[in-house]
Structure 1
Amino acid sequence: MPPDVTVVVPVYDAMPYLVTCLSSVFEQSIGRDRLEVIAVDDGSTDGSGTQLDLLDTCWPNLHVTHQPASGGPSHPRNVALDQARGRYVFFLDADDYLGPEALERMVALADQRDADVVACHRRSVGGPKGIASPADHVPLAGRLRHPGIDAHDYMAALGRSAAAAEQTALLVALGDCKQLFRRDLITRFGMRFDEEMIFGEDTLFSATYVDRAATVSMVSDYDCYFERVRDDGNNLTSRLIGTLSHVESLELGLRLDDRPELRWRRDFTVRDAVLDLTQQVFGGRFLRHGPDARRVLVDRSRGLLATWLTPRVTARLPALDRVKAELIARGLEAELSELVRVVAAGERGPDTIRAGRVYAGYPYLDDPTVGVPASCYDITGELEVRHRLDTLRWDGPRLRLAGHAFLERVDTVEVSTELVLRDRLGRQEHRWPVSPVPTPELAQEHGRGRFAFAGFEATVDCTDVGDGRPLAPGRWNAFLVVGAQGVRREIPLGGSRSEAVDAAAGSGSAGISVCFGRLGTLTLDVGELT
């Protein structure tokens, strides 16, 4: 007769905690005859494998497998799953341990509720004082805010027809694989741990499983699982581990969102994840890591970008993030570190203007040895356009406008600004060149460029917009095409204006009135003109 529970324990250099871990299993109130324990030694170097062999002679229900180090817990867990015979499977880390009644309570609840997965209450043990462990934040209990309500009731209320966003929230709430799983469901769908992931493989497994589960329950009134916080220097530095975990969590979120009903928002989700990567992982804090750790982060992030970043998403990124992503994708850690340093120090070089485009002065622009495309540096679409409408007055049928407008980072040389009137449907438009006006005061107010000729004056003769024809009846919106040195950007005119202009609103020539739309755009309401 198969056991009720198979406890899976991946083991790597777990001494001296290993004995406490396994003792807590074989002392469970559920009884040894209802258990089997599969411990997989993943190339331990501290005597953990020898200790397992010794314990194997004492406990008949302990099955030990030895294998070369695989670099993570996924492969040992998968090996154990291939051997498991229990109705349920529970995953236990080798340096953690269970409360005496943990398995009995979880199995009883699973049988009572016919649950596919049972989450458990956890506590953290050890570690420096003040360190918060995820074990102290019981996901479902925190969500339900009542220790007497288990997740079965939550799922019943949620229903299998619930929105995908709510369902995803529940998947994230379960957190990791330290739960009781019905083995039949694992077998039916052939579920295994992703052996390519360094971190987050347990969350992905749990999320995939719960997404297929019909019923989820939780033992929330008993401390089932005691999670040990280790700080013994056995692994990478905690800073690097935390940053790698950040990268893994980003990729995990993308994989969880990669479902048919969410494909419509995929580009936006990927863009947000890449921005998180380039701005958080590869922001100023990136330089706190040493060169070796920085190379690890770059190498790990290359895979994420190779899988998820498309040209369409790249086009949605700001220039700095495009350049960072390109350097990451090319594995250029030294160049990426220099870029981050330059940005953090405010040492960005002068921008380059050519063929009507503006390219940011970040390192390695047009450097053939690095090979980042110039398009990654293009900030034309990011340039802020500043304007103000200071004067609006009528001289008979002529509308006279004056103010200033300029593109940030583009000196007002070779000014080519135009005034545009366009009908509300965008089918007709009329254009007038403006006369540049000196604005020496702006050169003092704004530091990112020289704007001595940002002023403009324009006159619109509403009775003659070309070939002696008057402006057609209807509503016409005003725009400025702000141009200098061949760079041009169009903006609605009037969003920024003086009080004098507001006072003039409503006035007009015969058959014409002036107003400002909901977004502040100057609008001419034209009747029949002769």
Structure 2
Amino acid sequence: MTETAPVVSVVIPVYNSMPYLTGTVESLLAQELAALEIIAIDDGSTDGSGAELDRFAELDDRVTVVHQANSGWPGMPRNRGLERARGTYVLFMDADDTMAPEALRLMVAQADEHDADVVIPRFEGTGGRQVQALFERHPEGPIELARAMETLSPQKLFRRAMLERIGLRFPEGRVRLEDGIFVTRAYIEARRIMFCGAGPLYFIALRDDGGNISGQRIDPENYVASCRRIAETLLEGTPDREAAVALVRQFFGRKGLRFYAPKRWLRMDDAQRARWVALHRDFLHDLLPPEADARIAHPTDRRKVELIRAGDLAGLDALIRAAELLEHTGVVTGTRAVPGGIELTVAVHAAHENAPSRRAGAWLRVRLADRVYRLLRPVITRRTVRGASRVAADLLLRDRPRATLLLSGRKRGRAAAVPGRLAPPAPATGDAPRDAAAPRYRFVLPHDLLRRYRGERVDAWTVLYADRATSGDRARLTAQPGLDRRVDGVRVYATNRGNCSLQVRSTQ
């Protein structure tokens, strides 16, 4: 009698994972897809994890347990499991996570229907674990490489024939981002990548004992060396050079610039900062041409890259420390159609009492600039008129607070930046005085820009400036409760979390 091969092989590296391990295996044995095998590699556990795995193996012959001496990192155990896998597909799971009962069934069905080599399940964090916005916003269905690169963890369904054809394995030993190195190559080789789940399918945990490897101290040389390997894979595996550079630029924005966020940078000493900047300066020099910097939509990120290229630690420190002063909340207070596009009016509420936006003042010049803008608005679609309007605004408002609106589509992740125009205070209504602490900005979204997002939902953020060279972190644009307006084929609405998003259905 010939034994039927499983449809899915689930590989789990296990090291001191009790009591989480019990729930992990139970969630697998409860899968609606019964044709699976569970290959658990006990990597020298000392907390009873090995005995717990053996208990499950006695109860269910779909569970295979391999005991080995501790390797110190999950790459080698995953490889040992992959070598034993017999399924059409393989999924790598961590020993503290769980899956919804329908997860494997839905992922396999999607892979079969679309002939996909990689399927990404929709994640949800547990125990306080945060997940990328991708898992909340991206619609189910095909996903482009640029968006898939936002998740490099290995908890995905891979077609095993593809992995074997290219001989893909995880780097072994203490290699940071070893999963990202593996997953990036799989993405590059995949014929199609799919995003699965109308709701969460994979529940990724934050252990309350601090046992997640991702929480351990990062060695800069090790980390940046792995980033280089991932960037080189993207450059070598993407035929279109411009697209390859864009992928590396976006990757550095996620994995490189994270060390220049205030919460990380301000905890470092001078030597650590110098070490990171030197390594990242070499990375940029070798792998990203300087002209790529102009395509970075976020002005603060663009400035950080410029300062890293220059090795300017003092400039970086000043820019990063300014972020606290520029914390704010932006709320949409008006939407309307204007010649050539739609206009959003946003009130900015600064979090810090000494924020530059609280010192807008000199409203006479603001009103004059606004009058010029309103006079030119009927013919603003002409390039020369638009340029003249900007010059006039720059002259009149050169020392006034500035703001930028950032847009990003949920499907393609295309980013765009729209400069704002400082507007006069809103008229007082009834007994309510003007809120001088909340200046308003007008952002005009041209039809040409909106066409890039046709058929997509678009999220928005605001960025404030202290001066022309110093901007802060982005803040998610919020909306007044119940906002739901349609303007020139664009729906502007409040999400269930109170944020403001756009749905671009058609444009002129």
Could you state the TM-score of these two structures normalised by the residue count of structure 2? 0.48
Could you state the TM-score of these two structures normalised by the residue count of structure 1? 0.47
Structure number with higher relative contact order (C-alpha < 8 Å, ≥ 6 residues apart): 2
